[in-house]
Structure 1
Amino acid sequence: MLISIGIMAWNEAGVIETTLTSLFGQSALRGPGGDLADATWEVIVVPNGCSDDTAACARRALERLVAATGRKDISWTVHELVEAGKSNAWNHYVHELASPDAEMMVMIDADIEFGEAETLSNSVAALRADPHALVAVDLPLKDAVRKPRKTLLERFSLAASKASAGGTPAIAGSFYCARAATLRQIWMPKGLSIEDGFLRAMIVTDCFRAPIDERRIIRAPNASHYFETLTSLRAIFRHEVRLVIGNALNCYLTWDLLHFATDPEGPGAGVLIRNRIARDARWYPALIENAIRNHGWWVLPRGMLFRRFSGHRRNRDLGTLRWLALATAGFLFDLPVFLAANRKLKRGNVIGYW
């Protein structure tokens, strides 16, 4: 079984060696054979639109790390793209760079570190053990959780994450393991801001050919990774505005269009997107501009404002009063975020907003 690992990277020269070192510390890639004896591996780094030496740093690190394993079943390459954009890099990796023989694809951001040494092998094993599942995810953790002394803002950030950690697993774009045949059915529009939310919608609906089935995404046991915790109110606010804008654009694309336009007996919404873009490169921007124009003054989808109180997001390990207090605090923080996001959407130029 060939497993392809794709690492999308944008100006990550300062951290990509740490991420690759953490990857090669995984039990599946350590020593002779690792703990997935029947697997062979390819690691493909895709620097896109970088203005630093991410590609050179990745090549040096991979040459050293692969040689240190002494294994012949791990190949690697670094493929640079001139154009920046994660969705564009994702399309290139899935449809052009990854081996057509790959049975599974593992997507990794270039700035994470793994929590458990078995994260990779447990994710692959979970997917192999459940024939109904299409994607296996781990538990994404803010790196502040490792700090012995946390700031007040970090404590609040961690508490907010815990409050919304319940319900069915989401897909975090920073790490997931998927069946390659599933990803090959999907194409992403260039400029997609929140590609993991779009991907989740495509997965649970079988590319909008079937009713929602949450069982298509599973969480692997004893598997996690750390990502950077934002440490200033300004950075958190801007990040939240970006998420709201990205989720709004995803709603316009998925539930306002693909949900109705996809033939349940056809090849799926991924092919629909590919064909529309092939006919008109401005199809996606034009779709978004039209959706914003038709929504009037308040352009955000209904229900987003009260997302903190959504029952499916609730962490059942928290008491009702504690969860309600955290949800209310989050709602009060969300109000100016939503106003700012709505204002930016009305002004336009939000494709690829970062």
Structure 2
Amino acid sequence: MDISIGVFCYNEQDTIIQTLNNIFEQDLFRSEHRCRIYVLANGCRDNSIPLIREWEAKLSLEKQLQFELLELGFAGKSRTWNHFVHNVLSRESDAVIFADGDIAIPDPAVFSKLVGMVENSELLLASSSLPIKDIEHSGEKPKGLDKLIKMGAADFETVRHSICGQLYIARASTVKDIYMPIGLPVEDGFLRAMIMTNLFTQERDLRRIDSEKSIWHVYESLRGIRSLIRHQIRIVIGTTINRLIFQRLDSLQDRDSRIAELRKSSEDESWLKDLINSSLPEFPYGYIHPKFILKRTKSSFENKKHKSLKGIASILFGLAFDITVYIFANIKMSRGNSAGFW
């Protein structure tokens, strides 16, 4: 197979070299597959690019491996994703691995396993690596807020049919018809829906995205309640915006018209803001549906966490956290600056 790998780098001077070292240790590059690695340095204002240049000068590449650093004058993951997929990818590419420049990949077989997922199943169109928080991977016993963060980690069955934007693979033929709107806050859920439904032309098919427990990477968990709240606000706003995009696409007649609309959204900076302004707020609940507040609590009761004092404390903390996020997410969207909140 011909594999293209895009590494997203936005001001990652503290992590990008570790990520690249982990990538170059992957045993995929010692296989028969032809691989191209692109570092997508988008809008970097720190020392990332000089560090990568210095690191690149020391490389000794195998014949079947190519490396290129792309210095992009714009920032934003959706813009960078569109540029990579539609302007950089080789026509010969069979599959594409997308990786963030701030993750650790300790297992050198992860890329091979990702390639194997799509190589061994005709139905499978994409597969993600399982994200592991650093506080879980370290083996240290978490305390205080870190303990609550760890308790909130999703299990494998919850995420196996999802896209984790930090590290995933997709067939090149699948992503070539997808364009991300400029300013899209959360690309994971958007991409998942596009792949699962073939751009809303078919019923959702879970067989199109799957993973395995042995495919995983490590990311730095957020520290501090403010960072957690800000992150969750982004997720909630992104989920709300994705719903509006899906409704818009679903209203169009056929696949070609949906591709054309997505292409427009990737070129027109006002497309997403216009969609939000024409659709929200909705009576009677405003910008964010209040059912979000009870989603975590409902799940906790279904998992019987309320049957212990520790579980009750976790439920109460989660409920207070979600109410806070709900309030601030509504405020942020009402001010009209939710698009591009990335």
Q: Indicate which of 218, 225, 241 corresponds to 1:249.
A: 241
* Matched residue, 1:267: 256
Question: Counterpart amino acid of 2:24?
Answer: F
Q: Cα distance 1:272–1:314, how it changes in 2: closer, same or farther (>3 A)?
A: farther
Distance 1:113 1:277 in 2: 30
**SS at 1:106 equivalent:** strand
* Matched residue, 1:159: 151
| 1:149 Cα deviation from its structure 2 partner | 4.1
**SS at 2:251 equivalent:** helix
Q: Indicate which of 108, 120, 129 corresponds to 2:99.
A: 108
What does the per-residue CA deviation read over 1:248-307, in whole Å, with 9 as the maximum and x for residues that have no partner? 1111111x21122251xx3363332114555x5422211112122455652114633333
Q: Cα distance 1:56–1:296, how it changes in 2: closer, same or farther (>3 A)?
A: farther
CA RMSD of aligned residues (A): 2.5
Question: Counterpart amino acid of 1:272?
Answer: E
1:234 equivalenced with 2:234 (yes/no): no
What does the per-residue CA deviation read over 1:34-89, in whole Å, with 9 as the maximum and x for residues that have no partner? 2xx33010000111111113222223323434x1xx51111011111111100000
Deviation larger for 71-80 or 49-58: 49-58
Deviation larger for 226-235 or 162-171: 162-171
Q: Indicate which of 57, 60, 69 corresponds to 2:54.
A: 60
1:205 equivalenced with 2:197 (yes/no): yes
Structure 2, unmatched stretches of 5+, are none
CA contact (8 A) 1:104 1:177 kept: yes
Q: Cα distance 1:320–1:100, how it changes in 2: closer, same or farther (>3 A)?
A: farther
Map of 1:1-354 to 2, 5 A cutoff?
1-29=1-29, 34=30, 37-65=31-59, 67=60, 70-147=61-138, 148-162=140-154, 166=158, 168-254=160-246, 256-263=247-254, 266-267=255-256, 269-275=258-264, 281-295=269-283, 298-301=286-289, 303-308=291-296, 321=307, 325=312, 326=314, 329-354=317-342
**SS at 2:330 equivalent:** helix
Count of residues paired in the alignment: 339
Question: Counterpart amino acid of 1:339?
Answer: I
Distance 1:107 1:16 in 2: 14
TM, length-normalised to structure 1: 0.88
Distance 2:83 2:10 in 1: 15
**SS at 2:222 equivalent:** coil
Give the share of equivalent positions with the same residue, in percent. 30
TM, length-normalised to structure 2: 0.90
Distance 2:143 2:223 in 1: 9
CA contact (8 A) 2:182 2:269 kept: no
Deviation larger for 319-328 or 112-121: 319-328
Distance 2:214 2:156 in 1: 20
CA contact (8 A) 1:188 1:270 kept: no
**SS at 2:217 equivalent:** strand
Q: Cα distance 1:338–1:104, how it changes in 2: closer, same or farther (>3 A)?
A: same
